[in-house]
């Protein structure tokens, strides 16, 4: 945590900036210093003996700054130095001894509050690189000079710095209790200590981001760590984009993704951010905190802060992870014997009809290769095994940090290569990150970051509705081999009547889709200290990026490119953006009244272009997508250019009385080019307040068990502008029509404009409570919120008679309300064992309040007024018609053995009126439970996560487990209706040509509730003796098991899934990429 | 502020349009794009709203399993207003119509074009607007009539107009097109005078029949208009039925107006959708067929000597294996051959046009109008000759009769124009059906077609307004 402490140190006010009142008569010096502590955020570090020697002091000064006060208070033999929020009180060099700067041995002993010796505590000597650790008795000896101080650090305790006195030191460490409260969090255009916060901001530290070794990107790493943020890891695909929603789905036609900011660079793609460069992530959840980001804040804001170098300490940190991933679970599909039983039963629907392999008169081409003469299969292939592999991934990162006098710097180089468990799918990324902090002049501080790199992935899950490799892995028949003995690939249609589609292994090998991007972004922040109270900040940021998507499908790949003789395509995009933000900050204090204020303006510009080219008919697969000219048929090329701009003004004031009563307000004016000419600017106010109840004098007498208690409330308005560009303009789109076999240019009306269109408005009320109990053993935070999105950026459905399907308008409102609970406990904090736990719990309930009376049907669901946004909706299967019900079935035009649906409107026909709500797409409750055990050098981390009450629309099962399926199926299909077993929900098996309806109904909408042991990690820290030999400062070796245990009834690969966007179609599972379980070895060395 | 202004580069705002003749041409071309709207497909295999029109007749069925939406048309169940195909058909009327309104409005206000050129361009658009409305009024009955572009997106509730009013607009538009100076034929597939007059004949004969029942005045108008087309001698029947499928003969001879297709950029789905199901290896890509097949009863209603029933004319019952011509594969049932494309069989793509108006249709309209006008049968030689031209191609050497009954003409239409998306409209306007058992023309109401589970009744004759449209515009209730 050294880095974190130093990061805070940079943010601390200078001593002369902080004013105090001091009144004391003949009071011991250490008590007066405690008075100063009570009035400020500063903490003194001193040797009690030295202060006692200084005797008592009398002082009576109003509004004096701390520096001045200390000059007056301290006797001649002592001096003071500021270290962030710490003030070191030391014996002055000249009085300390005769041999300044000469090293001598300092000895000491480190104990805890109970006087028990602490072993393994790191003691390092001031500016030098010397360090040691305490032994079993807590004792240490270190070489130090008189003008140095010792830094004492140990996990679980507050770091302290003590002056070297020449006498043996007795050092008492206090448990690291309120560290979280003292942490500085980033709030957007500034920082704030957590204890002074009134809004709903959650923080994830860099350490937490690294807890799960298998996480490859920042959003994945945050999963389960933020109450209120639904992070769904929807696919096992390398580089897949997890969906993240903060406090529910507020929007229908605009985005529901939060705004990502890295060190002031606004609007990043989080997928390209390497987690290893991140120091911490702060998540602005409520509207009051996000309102400072105005029209882009309505889905929450995620502020990432990069790591920084440390002054006067150079380190090299090397970390490497090697992971092995395998298929986590298999779906219960039919084997060869089962599949043939299913097919035989399908043929037997018509009495006497024989399946091809049983029919002596059917002599299909591959019959003898597939079947023994008696019709039993020669092969039994498990396609889930064939199409997946043991995937090896590595993730290495090398960080150099350092600093001198007025500069700090950090350089990070990282490389990762992740193999997917599906054959040939992969992701690799290389990233270089560098930052520099430079105190150019006492009045000017510069900070700059540069981040650049490239990533590339090979995808196998193209075209999720088509016959892609993953779908074929599910659906391929198990009695057909990968290749025949003559070396040729098999095809599913080799068995007559089966859907004729390509072999999954061939698709994985011969269809090549590579996407990637290169990017560079940077910013420079200048802070000018105009005077003691006013700082001026100016930031320039820029981003450049190129994205590509290359595709080639070979000459003979059936159903993909065989008719075209090979298809090659390339899509290239380029984008650039710049931002300038300038603001002024004002800090002041009058007695117990503290103020700070901020005002600023920003400009943002973004432009992007894209190009598409494609060719067909290649004489050879050699060229792939690298030489489109080799194809003789050209596809229609395409290109596009888009641009958007923003211009904003913002201000914020905060007031704090005696650290007990806090209040603040902010206001942002946001102009966006995306809105209608009549409504370019939007206005976003916010208000917040909090009361630190536990700081009231009466409180500690009244409720001593509660050491910290704060109540807070906030109310704010944010906006949403994520509708894409040019949505307010009427359009004539160019297209082509054919005349005489030739393409001719044409234009058609495509989008009616709306010059009045404006941002979507999100109002949110948040009430929170923070508390620490029982000597800080239990800390908890609870929040309730009500979020109302109004003026939805909604494509208002228009009657077709207007000529259009819809027009963007500000119509409708959605309410999300919920509860978040976060509990941290120290269950055991003994000498040999510490055990801490964390529980995050949250729930969100949505309701569409108003939607112009429209009903929107999406995948197996609907959105309508008075209903949740995430509702499944469809027919309700009550079973199958039995032979006894033949007459009733006939009324519906059905026969015994057909599916029976609820006739809800009792009109004796199956129609739209029979459909009913079928459950929720989003979890009703989400719980994450983490435990950390530490004992000596070992620590164990266990992360259990659970989502409850959500359902998935298992489209894969709907297609496969159908009575007329012509592909492989789930084993359960053998429970289908027969005249002997009529009590079932599956209709009698038959061929497609025998007819019979099926529906995506409740039978295929499955409960997705699960408990997952998401991660188990064991870490071992190398012992000091070994470290010394290896010349290392620190070395951690760990092993990490991700996704090893999952408890669910869901029948697909994983109940956290969607095949489309997670905004409104979470849980729609169309042949999801299977999820791996991953075992990682972790090594981290600090030199 | 200026910083926030939008200046898109990838599309044009309508306010900045209509400044050059090429822009006008592109806008007029855009009004044709609606012609293929009903042939849209979704993720289902061989599923398209367009087949509903043939399913409704009861003379066809679907080889592939059908979902509820198709089943309602296939079985003649009451059609649920929530049935998604209704929305497809409704939008196929109004989306293209708005393009027409916009062009008519904007082009009307331009001044840089010579009047005669402007009139020609407008002629095409008037024809197409009439085309779209004619489709809508026949399928849905009373529907909103709108002839100006939408400018107000708040007051969007347009009431239904009476069918008579709609027909008046259709006739008015077609008359404008007729006067616009278009050439008789157009080999590139643009609207021609021949197309305008043929459609006008069709509109008139529809107005003469159900539901307006304007009777003889309109039979006379229909007869005159069809006769104009015939007398122009611009069109002729192909000698061979196979020529109807020949892409090289598109937009010529018998083809008066077609949906223009192109192999590379605007394929025709029919070759594939009409293939056998379960798959048979008779073409390079046999996997996506099964959308539409004639009911055996209908196939058998053809006279055994009728050339149209012959192998590989309108139907086929066997076909050589793909790349294996000596291996003849029998089809389990007779299938439609009208859209078979030998090129598609080899390369898996087809650019065959779809016939919207062909000369045989006009010849039969002429005969039907005259026979109706003359009280059910006619001795008018022009009319008899018109009918006989069509009949003679199916029955070479047949003798021209002295008298022609209207039912003979209707029968000829059922057989000649089958599976060309005409039959349902004919059944609606004549309220007649072909009884496949007796081979006779019978009243539509009370007749149960081979694939239906109910006989036709009054409520089956109009499609309900789509539920979603009623929700958006309560005046459509």
Chain B contacts in chain A segment 587-616 (CB below 8 A) = 603
Asked if B68 lies within 8 A of A999 by C-beta distance, the reply is: yes
Mean pLDDT of chain A: 87
Asked if B95 lies within 8 A of A493 by C-beta distance, the reply is: no
Residue A624 scores a pLDDT above 80: yes
- pLDDT grade, residue A372 (50/70/90)? very high
Asked if B6 lies within 8 A of A736 by C-beta distance, the reply is: no
A754 contact B CB<8A: yes
**Predicted local confidence at residue A93, as pLDDT:** 55
Q: For testing the chain A interface, which of B3, B247, B268 should be mutated: the one with the most A CBs within 10 Å?
A: B3
Q: Which of B4, B77, B472 is closest, CB to CB, to A799?
A: B472
- For residue B99, list chain A residues with Cβ-Cβ distance below 8 A: 748-749, 803
**Predicted local confidence at residue A740, as pLDDT:** 87
- pLDDT grade, residue A65 (50/70/90)? confident
* Per-residue pLDDT reduced to its tens digit, A858-898: 889 999 999 999 999 999 999 999 999 999 998 888 899 99
Angle, vertex CA A1081, rays to CA A1023 and CA A1034, nearest 5: 25
Handedness of CA A286, A287, A288, A289 (dihedral sign): positive
A210: distance to nearest CA of chain B, Å?
41
For B418, the token pair is 């089958």
Beta bridge partners of A438: A407, A446
Q: Which of B14, B150, B187 is closest, CB to CB, to A803?
A: B150
Could you tell me which chain A residue has the CA closest to the CA of B467?
A912
- For residue B11, list chain A residues with Cβ-Cβ distance below 8 A: 726, 731-734, 750
| Domain ranges for chain A | 2-174, 180-315
* Per-residue pLDDT reduced to its tens digit, A746-779: 999 988 888 888 889 999 999 999 998 887 789 8
From the number of C-beta atoms within 10 Å of its C-beta (0-12, 13-18, 19+), residue A372 rates as exposed
A993 contact B CB<8A: yes
- For residue B467, list chain A residues with Cβ-Cβ distance below 8 A: 912
Give percent above pLDDT 70 in chain A: 95
Residue indicated by tokens 């600023």: A600
Q: Which of B11, B90, B149 is closest, CB to CB, to A731?
A: B11
Q: Which residue has the higher pLDDT, B62 or A49?
A: B62
A294 contact B CB<8A: no
Q: Which residue has the higher pLDDT, A13 or A113?
A: A13
- For residue B6, list chain A residues with Cβ-Cβ distance below 8 A: 643-644, 673-674, 725-726, 728-729
CA dihedral A549, A553, A559, A565 (to 10 degrees): 130
Asked if A739 lies within 8 A of B260 by C-beta distance, the reply is: yes
A736 contact B CB<8A: yes
Residue A127 scores a pLDDT above 60: no
A854 contact B CB<8A: yes
Residue A201 scores a pLDDT above 50: yes
- The average pLDDT across A359-383 equals 92
**Predicted local confidence at residue B254, as pLDDT:** 96
For A112, the token pair is 């805890």
Tally of residues, chain A = 1087
**Predicted local confidence at residue A465, as pLDDT:** 61
**Predicted local confidence at residue A177, as pLDDT:** 52
Give the single-character DSSP code of A334.
-
Q: Which of B8, B277, B284 is closest, CB to CB, to A563?
A: B284
* Per-residue pLDDT reduced to its tens digit, A942-960: 999 999 999 999 999 999 9
Q: Domain A180-315: give its CATH superfamily.
A: TonB-dependent receptor, plug domain (2.170.130.10)
Of A82-96, A241-255, A387-401, A1067-1081, least confident by mean pLDDT is A82-96
**Predicted local confidence at residue B179, as pLDDT:** 96
- For residue A736, list chain B residues with Cβ-Cβ distance below 8 A: 265-266
CA dihedral A650, A192, A302, A204 (to 10 degrees): 180
Residue A78 scores a pLDDT above 80: no
Asked if B266 lies within 8 A of A739 by C-beta distance, the reply is: no
Highest mean pLDDT among A24-38, A210-224, A293-307: A293-307
- The average pLDDT across A129-140 equals 73
- For residue A807, list chain B residues with Cβ-Cβ distance below 8 A: 153
- pLDDT grade, residue A39 (50/70/90)? confident
A562: distance to nearest CA of chain B, Å?
9
Whole-angstrom distance, CA of residue B430 vs CA of residue B443:
9
| Domain ranges for chain B | 16-45+76-181+445-477
Residue A976 scores a pLDDT above 80: yes
CATH class as words, domain B16-45+76-181+445-477: mainly alpha
**Predicted local confidence at residue A417, as pLDDT:** 93
ipTM of the complex: 0.93
Asked if A995 lies within 8 A of B66 by C-beta distance, the reply is: yes
Query: Could you write out the three-class secondary structure of A525-589?
Result: EEEEECCCCEEEEEEEEEEEEEEEEEEEECCCCCCCCCCCCCEEEEEEEEEEEEEEEEEEEEEEE
Query: Could you write out the three-class secondary structure of A738-777?
Result: EECCEEEEEEEEEECCCCCCCCEEEEEEEEEEEEEECCCC
Asked if A563 lies within 8 A of B188 by C-beta distance, the reply is: no
Q: What is the pLDDT along chain B (477 residues), one digit of tens a residue?
A: 688 888 888 888 887 899 999 999 999 999 999 999 999 887 678 889 999 999 999 999 999 878 888 989 999 988 999 899 999 999 999 999 999 999 999 999 999 999 999 999 999 999 999 999 999 999 999 999 999 999 888 889 999 999 999 999 999 999 999 999 999 999 999 999 999 999 999 999 999 999 999 999 999 999 999 999 999 999 999 999 999 999 999 999 999 999 999 988 888 889 999 999 888 889 888 878 899 999 999 999 999 999 999 999 999 999 999 888 899 999 999 999 999 999 999 888 889 999 999 999 999 999 999 999 999 999 999 999 999 999 999 999 999 999 999 999 999 999 999 999 999 999 999 999 999 999 999 999 999 999 998 899 999 999 999 998 998 899 998
Asked if B287 lies within 8 A of A500 by C-beta distance, the reply is: yes
Asked if B99 lies within 8 A of A809 by C-beta distance, the reply is: no
Residue A984 scores a pLDDT above 80: yes
- For residue A723, list chain B residues with Cβ-Cβ distance below 8 A: none
Distances (CA, A) of A157 to A174, A257, A1058: 6, 38, 43
Could you tell me which chain B residue has the CA closest to the CA of A674?
B6
Whole-angstrom distance, CA of residue B473 vs CA of residue A800:
9
Asked if A671 lies within 8 A of B43 by C-beta distance, the reply is: no
* Per-residue pLDDT reduced to its tens digit, A776-797: 789 899 999 999 999 998 888 8
SS3 A853: coil
Residue A3 scores a pLDDT above 50: no
Whole-angstrom distance, CA of residue A711 vs CA of residue A688:
11
* Per-residue pLDDT reduced to its tens digit, A385-427: 999 999 999 999 999 988 887 888 999 999 999 999 999 999 9
Domain A2-174 has CATH 2.60.40.10: yes
B381: distance to nearest CA of chain A, Å?
36
**Predicted local confidence at residue A100, as pLDDT:** 44
Asked if B66 lies within 8 A of A499 by C-beta distance, the reply is: no
- For residue A563, list chain B residues with Cβ-Cβ distance below 8 A: 284-285, 347-349
- For residue A854, list chain B residues with Cβ-Cβ distance below 8 A: 471-472
* Per-residue pLDDT reduced to its tens digit, A309-329: 777 778 899 999 999 999 999
Residue indicated by tokens 């709903």: A200
Handedness of CA B440, B443, B446, B449 (dihedral sign): positive
Asked if B11 lies within 8 A of A802 by C-beta distance, the reply is: no
């Amino acid at each position: 945590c050294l880095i974190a402490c130093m990061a805070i140190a940079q943010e601390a006010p200078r001593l002369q900036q902080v004013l105090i009142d001091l009144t004391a008569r003949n009071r011991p010096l250490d008590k007066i210093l405690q008075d100063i502590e009570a009035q400020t955020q500063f903490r003194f570090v001193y040797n009690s003996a030295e202060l006692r020697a200084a005797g008592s002091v009398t002082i009576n000064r109003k509004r004096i700054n701390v520096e001045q006060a200390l000059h007056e208070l301290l006797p001649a033999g002592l001096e003071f130095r500021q270290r962030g929020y710490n003030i070191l009180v030391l014996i002055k060099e000249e009085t300390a001894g005769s041999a300044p700067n000469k090293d001598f041995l300092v000895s000491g002993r480190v104990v805890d509050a109970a006087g028990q010796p602490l072993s393994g505590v790191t003691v390092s000597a001031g500016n030098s690189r010397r360090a040691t650790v305490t032994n079993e008795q807590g004792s240490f000896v270190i070489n130090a000079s008189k003008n140095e101080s010792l830094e004492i650090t140990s996990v679980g305790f507050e770091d302290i710095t003590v002056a070297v006195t020449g006498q043996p030191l007795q050092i008492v460490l206090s448990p690291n209790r309120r560290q979280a409260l003292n942490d500085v969090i980033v709030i957007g255009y500034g920082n704030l200590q957590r204890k002074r916060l009134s809004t709903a901001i959650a923080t994830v530290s860099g350490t937490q981001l690294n807890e799960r070794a298998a996480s490859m990107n920042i959003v994945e790493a945050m999963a389960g760590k933020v109450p209120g943020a639904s992070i769904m890891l929807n696919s096992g695909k390398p580089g897949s984009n997890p969906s993240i929603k903060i406090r529910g789905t507020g929007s229908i036609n605009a985005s529901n993704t939060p705004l990502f900011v890295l060190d002031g660079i606004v609007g990043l793609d989080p997928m390209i951010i390497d987690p290893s460069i991140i120091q911490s992530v702060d998540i602005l959840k409520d509207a009051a905190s996000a309102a400072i980001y105005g029209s882009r804040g309505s889905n929450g804001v995620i502020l990432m802060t990069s790591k920084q170098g440390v002054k006067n300490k150079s380190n090299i940190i090397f970390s490497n992870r090697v992971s092995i991933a395998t298929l986590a679970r298999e779906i219960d599909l039919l084997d060869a014997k089962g599949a043939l039983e299913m097919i035989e039963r399908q043929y037997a629907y018509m009495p006497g009809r024989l399946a091809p392999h049983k029919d002596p008169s059917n002599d299909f081409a591959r019959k003898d290769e597939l079947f023994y003469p008696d019709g039993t299969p020669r092969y039994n292939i498990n396609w889930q095994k064939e199409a997946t592999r043991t995937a090896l991934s590595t993730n290495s990162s090398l960080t150099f940090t350092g600093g001198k006098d007025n500069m700090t710097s950090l350089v990070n180089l990282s490389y990762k290569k992740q193999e997917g468990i599906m054959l040939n799918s992969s992701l690799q990324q290389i990233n270089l990150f560098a930052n520099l902090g430079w105190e150019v002049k006492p009045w000017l501080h510069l900070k700059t970051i540069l981040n650049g790199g490239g990533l590339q992935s090979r995808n196998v899950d193209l075209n999720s509705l088509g016959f892609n490799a993953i779908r074929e892995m599910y659906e391929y028949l198990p009695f057909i081999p990968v290749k025949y003995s003559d070396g040729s690939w098999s095809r599913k249609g080799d068995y007559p009547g089966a859907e004729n589609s390509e072999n999954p292994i061939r698709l994985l090998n011969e269809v090549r889709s590579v996407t990637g991007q290169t990017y560079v972004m940077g910013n420079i922040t200048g802070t000018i200290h105009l005077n003691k109270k006013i700082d001026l900040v100016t930031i320039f940021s820029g981003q450049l990026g190129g994205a590509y998507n290359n595709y080639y499908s070979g000459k003979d790949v059936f159903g993909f490119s065989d008719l075209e003789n090979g298809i090659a395509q390339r899509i290239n995009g380029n984008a650039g953006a710049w931002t300038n933000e300038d603001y002024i900050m004002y800090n002041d204090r009058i007695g117990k009244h503290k103020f700070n204020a901020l005002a600023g303006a920003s400009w943002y510009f973004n432009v992007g272009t894209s190009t598409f080219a494609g060719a067909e008919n290649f004489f050879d697969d050699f060229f792939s997508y690298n030489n489109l000219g080799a194809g003789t048929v050209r596809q229609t090329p395409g290109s596009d250019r888009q641009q958007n701009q923003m211009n904003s003004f913002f201000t914020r004031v905060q007031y704090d009385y005696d650290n007990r009563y806090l209040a603040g307000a902010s206001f942002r004016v946001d102009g966006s080019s995306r809105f209608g000419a009549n409504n370019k600017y939007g206005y976003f106010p916010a208000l917040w307040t909090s009361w630190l109840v536990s700081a009231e004098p009466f409180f500690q007498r009244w409720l001593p068990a509660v050491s910290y208690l704060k109540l807070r409330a906030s109310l704010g308005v944010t906006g949403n502008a994520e509708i894409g560009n040019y949505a307010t303009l009427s359009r004539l789109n160019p297209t082509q029509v054919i005349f005489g076999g030739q393409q001719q240019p044409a234009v058609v009306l495509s989008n009616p404009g709306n010059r009045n269109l404006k941002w979507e408005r999100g109002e949110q009320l948040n009430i929170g409570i923070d508390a620490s109990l029982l000597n800080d053993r239990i800390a908890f935070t609870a929040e309730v919120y009500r979020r109302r999105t109004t003026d939805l950026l909604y494509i208002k459905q228009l009657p077709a008679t207007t000529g259009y399907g819809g027009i963007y308008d500000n119509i409708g409102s959605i309410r999300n309300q919920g509860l978040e609970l976060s509990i941290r406990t120290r269950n055991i904090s003994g000498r040999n064992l510490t055990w801490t736990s964390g529980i995050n719990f949250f729930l969100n309930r949505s309701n569409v309040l108003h939607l112009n009376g429209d009903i929107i049907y999406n995948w197996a669901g609907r959105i309508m007024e008075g209903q949740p946004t995430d509702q499944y909706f469809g027919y309700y299967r009550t079973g199958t018609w039995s032979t006894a019900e033949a007459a009733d079935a006939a009324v519906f035009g059905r026969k015994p053995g057909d599916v029976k649906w609820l006739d809800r409107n009792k009109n004796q026909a199956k129609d739209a009126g029979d459909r009913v709500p079928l459950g929720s797409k989003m979890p009703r409750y989400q719980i994450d439970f983490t435990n950390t055990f530490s004992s000596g050098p070992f620590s164990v981390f266990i992360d259990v996560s659970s989502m409850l009450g959500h359902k998935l629309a298992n489209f894969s099962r709907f297609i496969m487990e159908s009575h007329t399926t012509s592909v492989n199926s789930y084993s359960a299909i053998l429970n289908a209706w027969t005249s002997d077993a009529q009590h079932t929900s599956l209709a009698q098996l038959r061929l497609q040509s025998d007819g019979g309806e099926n529906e995506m109904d409740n039978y295929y909408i499955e409960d997705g509730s699960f408990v997952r042991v998401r991660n188990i990690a064991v870490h071992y820290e190398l012992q000091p003796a070994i470290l010394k030999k290896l010349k290392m400062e620190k070395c951690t070796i760990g092993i990490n098991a991700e996704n090893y245990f999952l408890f669910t009834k869901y029948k697909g690969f994983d109940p956290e899934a969607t095949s489309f966007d997670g905004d409104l179609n979470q849980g729609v599972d169309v042949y999801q990429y299977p999820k791996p379980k991953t075992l990682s070895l972790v090594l981290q060395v600090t030199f | 502020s200026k910083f926030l202004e939008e200046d898109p580069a990838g599309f044009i705002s309508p306010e900045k349009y209509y400044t050059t003749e090429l822009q006008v041409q592109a806008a007029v071309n855009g009004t044709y794009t609606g012609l293929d709207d009903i042939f849209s497909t979704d993720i289902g295999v061989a599923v398209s709203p367009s087949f509903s029109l043939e399913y409704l007749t009861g003379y066809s069925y679907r080889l592939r399993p059908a979902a509820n939406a198709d089943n309602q048309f296939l079985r003649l169940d009451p059609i649920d207003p929530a049935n998604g195909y209704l929305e497809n058909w409704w939008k196929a009327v109004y989306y293209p119509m708005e393009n027409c309104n916009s062009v008519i409005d904007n082009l009307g206000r331009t001044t840089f074009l010579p009047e005669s050129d402007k009139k020609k361009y407008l002629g095409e658009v008037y024809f197409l607007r009439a085309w779209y409305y004619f489709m809508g009024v026949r399928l849905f009955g009373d529907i909103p009539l709108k002839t100006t572009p939408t400018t107000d997106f708040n007051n969007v509730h347009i009431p239904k107009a009476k069918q008579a009013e709609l027909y008046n607009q259709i006739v008015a538009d077609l008359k404008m097109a007729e006067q616009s100076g278009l050439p008789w034929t157009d080999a590139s597939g643009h609207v021609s005078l021949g197309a305008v007059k043929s459609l006008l004949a069709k509109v008139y004969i529809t107005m003469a029949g159900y539901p307006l029942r304007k009777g003889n005045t309109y039979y006379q108008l229909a007869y005159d208009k069809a006769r104009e087309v015939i007398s122009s001698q611009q069109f002729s029947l192909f000698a061979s039925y196979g020529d109807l499928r020949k892409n090289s003969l598109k937009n010529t001879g018998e083809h008066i107006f077609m949906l223009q297709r192109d192999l590379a950029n605007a394929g025709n789905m029919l070759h594939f959708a009409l293939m056998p199901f379960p798959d048979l290896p008779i073409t390079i890509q046999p996997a996506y067929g099964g959308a539409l097949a004639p009911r055996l009863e209908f196939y058998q209603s053809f006279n055994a000597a009728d050339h149209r029933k012959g192998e590989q004319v309108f139907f086929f019952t066997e076909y050589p294996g793909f790349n294996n011509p000596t291996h003849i594969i029998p089809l389990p049932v007779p299938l439609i051959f009208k859209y078979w494309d030998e090129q598609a069989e080899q390369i898996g793509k087809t650019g065959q046009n779809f016939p919207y108006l062909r000369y045989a249709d006009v010849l039969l309209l002429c005969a039907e109008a005259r026979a109706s006008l003359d009280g059910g049968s006619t001795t008018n030689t022009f009319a008899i000759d018109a009918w006989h031209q069509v009949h003679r191609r199916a029955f070479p050497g047949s003798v021209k009769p002295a008298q022609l009954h209207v039912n003979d003409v209707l029968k000829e239409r059922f057989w000649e124009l089958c599976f060309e998306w005409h039959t349902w409209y004919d059944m609606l306007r004549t309220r007649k059906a072909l009884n496949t058992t007796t081979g006779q023309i019978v009243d539509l109401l009370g007749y149960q077609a081979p694939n239906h589970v109910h006989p036709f009744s009054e409520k089956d004759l109009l499609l309900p307004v789509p539920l979603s449209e009623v929700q958006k515009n309560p005046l459509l209730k």
